[in-house]
Structure 1
Amino acid sequence: MILGHIGARKGSKGVPGKNFRDLCGKPLIDWSLDPLLENPQVDAVVVSTDDEEMYAHAVAKGALDIGLRPAELATDSAPKWGVWQHALEASQAMLGQEVTAFLDLDCTSPLRLPEDITGALDLFASAAPDMVMSVCESRKNPYFNMVEPDETGALQVSKPLPGGVWARQNAPVVYDHVGVVYVVAPDYLRSAETIYEGRVIPFVLPAERCLDVDSPLDWTMVEFLMKERLAGRF
């Protein structure tokens, strides 16, 4: 049984109320919730939130009625991992079958396509890792063009290699961790304390589908790209 999950906290400092704010005709959360509810591979869907309006909205659309997120998991500092663990156990208690894959979509990554979800599930099924994580190739590379000050304040390459790296194509590949899609083995989610304890493998996506809404500028960019997509231009 595949359990789809969305975490949508009420508070947001960068874009107040963003998770339920209208984006191109529907709340931001629905750009993640609808693909889960419509995916034939997904057997059940749960939304973890401390917002009563979003919770009622999600349950009315077909999400499991697990109750609001506990207060200790609704703070700025609450780790995603703990939210996932709670949602898994609360959902498992309501389901008649054992969950075999925990599928999470970040509410703030609305530009994913349906094939991003099925692709991640297929990779999880074929490679049998502890976790599949969506990534995109980073525009900046710590071996080449990311720098940081040393103890004197002088800039140095963040991760220097012997002899240096003088062309981007010669630098080791690095990825941005993005919230488009995650697939986690339930036993790993229950037993691990953090994301990277086990075998976490990348699911590489194009950067244009990996924008995350954290600021008003992000919202403007995502809204523009969504309008372009809906108009058939992107």
Structure 2
Amino acid sequence: MDSTIKRLAVICARKGSKGVKNKNLRYLDNRPLINHTIQQAKDSKIFDWIAISSDSSAILALGKIENVDFLIERPIELASDLAPKIPSIRHCAAAVEMQTNKKLSTIVDLDVTAPLRNIEDIHGAVHLLERSSADNVVSGALARRSPYFNLV
């Protein structure tokens, strides 16, 4: 495998959703929700490649229109409500490494349902990860109300 190190933004977007049907394709500010994440990945200018992992032909087609570098069809066993996200990210990263014969140094999961993230936060997370001995970095925000309300 080529020793050139690359950064990859992975956007996981299943077709199914328990709460909101087709949420990744729902419009926010006159654009599908996933388009916000694609644009943030591009605007950050920190990634060598952007990949979408999905079981939805509509989402993958939208990725093609948006000139996303890699459109990875997610296997059915990684697309259920019970499937954890990390195996989907690993599957996507492995597919990119296989297609490019390049080693990925940094893999960033940009969640479709966080369209209001700042580019500075993406930069900060990547730099924090690459400058530390941590295996991963996770972002969060202070809750505006008690999380116990979500248990109802």
CA distance in 2, matches of 1:29, 1:81: 19
CA distance in 2, matches of 1:112, 1:57: 21
CA distance in 2, matches of 1:50, 1:76: 12
- 1:170-185 alignment runs, 5 A limit: none
Match of 2:141 in 1: 136
SS of the aligned residue for 2:42 comes to helix
Query: Does the Cα contact within 8 Å between 2:72 and 2:92 map onto a contact in 1?
Result: no
Is residue 2:35 matched to residue 1:30?
yes
Is residue 2:75 matched to residue 1:70?
yes
1:18 to 15, 23, 45: 23
Is residue 2:61 matched to residue 1:56?
yes
TM-score, length of structure 1 as denominator length: 0.57
CA distance in 1, matches of 2:23, 2:141: 23
Amino acid at match of 1:46: A
- 1:1-234 alignment runs, 5 A limit: 1-138=6-143, 139-140=145-146
Greater RCO structure (CA 8 Å; 6+ sep): 2
Unaligned runs of 5+ in 1: 147-234
CA distance in 1, matches of 2:34, 2:10: 11
Taking a change above 3 Å as real, the CA distance of residues 29 and 66 of structure 1, as seen in their structure-2 partners, is closer
What displacement does 1:62 show? 2.3
Structure of higher CA gyration radius: 1
Amino acid at match of 2:73: L
What displacement does 1:55 show? 0.2
CA distance in 2, matches of 1:111, 1:23: 11
RMSD: 1.7
Query: Does the Cα contact within 8 Å between 1:9 and 1:49 map onto a contact in 2?
Result: yes
CA distance in 2, matches of 1:133, 1:33: 19
SS of the aligned residue for 1:87 comes to helix
What displacement does 1:66 show? 4.5
What displacement does 1:17 show? 0.9
Match of 1:205 in 2: none
Q: Percent identity?
A: 35
The one-character-per-residue Cα deviations of 1:17-65 (angstroms, maximum 9, x if unpaired) are 1100111110000111111123221000100111101101112322234
Number of corresponding residues: 142
Query: Does the Cα contact within 8 Å between 2:43 and 2:119 map onto a contact in 1?
Result: no
CA distance in 1, matches of 2:71, 2:146: 41
SS of the aligned residue for 1:132 comes to coil
Taking a change above 3 Å as real, the CA distance of residues 113 and 9 of structure 1, as seen in their structure-2 partners, is same
